[in-house]
Amino acid sequence: MQLRSKVDFSTAVEDVRDYFGTMGNGRPKYSGSRFETLGEGVDTDPHRITATDLVAVSMLSVDVPAQASLGILETLAEQISELLSQIPQDLKFENLTPESFEKYLAEGSPADKLWSLLRQHEDPWKVGQTTASKIMARKRPDLIPVYDSVVEAVAGIKGSGEQWIVWYSAFHDGSSEAAEFVDKLRAIRAEAGQPHLSLLRVLDIALWKQGKREIRHS
């Protein structure tokens, strides 16, 4: 499948290493390298989206509008917390079964409901599919993939509505290629020296960097 074919081991290792590099002034080369770790140990609650989480999302080049921030932190905080409490913290995407995918990520699941709540389709507050995915990935990095237009294009995804299904197929279509792909992502993570990353985030960085190259050369 297109998504798996876009990840070359050596290139991905170098891309992940570069992503976590620093500039001469000591600041990160890519602010996104702090997405997972910003505010680590401070203002963290696995079942609540905090102000620190919203700042962390900005590390991935999106901003949560003021009205949405107020809604997330105040008006809808309890609803969000209830949905997050139904999504396991320790469930990893690579360990999903058909049953657990259906329970946690399929239509009508807690993650699907949280996605809709953040998007606010009935009363829009300018949280699009990219921003919603990054907020959710901040809270459940092992289970929710980051989604943006670069990854969408390079992976051949036709829209955010099918994104979790596409990712699931890449990891779990029952083929030997899927198992080898998961092993490759683990090896990339180890070789790049970033053991804290989820496999989803390793894949996201590899696809994003590849997509950026394709855009430059198009």
Reported confidence tier of residue 135, pLDDT bands at 50, 70, 90: very high
Backbone angles phi, psi at 28, to 5 degrees: -60, 140
pLDDT of residue 78: 98
Query: What amino acid occupies position 146?
Result: V
Number of domains in the chain: 1
* Rounded alpha-carbon distances, angstroms, from residue 137 to 115, 176, 216: 11, 27, 27
Backbone angles phi, psi at 77, to 5 degrees: -55, -40
Residue 65 predicted with pLDDT over 90? yes
Q: Provide the residue range defining the domain that includes 152.
A: 2-217
User: What's the pLDDT tens digit per position in 136-184?
Assistant: 999 999 999 999 999 999 998 987 788 999 999 999 999 999 999 999 9
User: What's the pLDDT tens digit per position in 109-127?
Assistant: 999 999 999 999 888 899 9
* Rounded alpha-carbon distances, angstroms, from residue 131 to 59, 79, 147, 182, 206: 11, 19, 8, 26, 19
pLDDT of residue 99: 98
Neighbouring residues of 186: CB distance < 8 A, sequence distance ≥ 6: 199
Reported confidence tier of residue 19, pLDDT bands at 50, 70, 90: very high
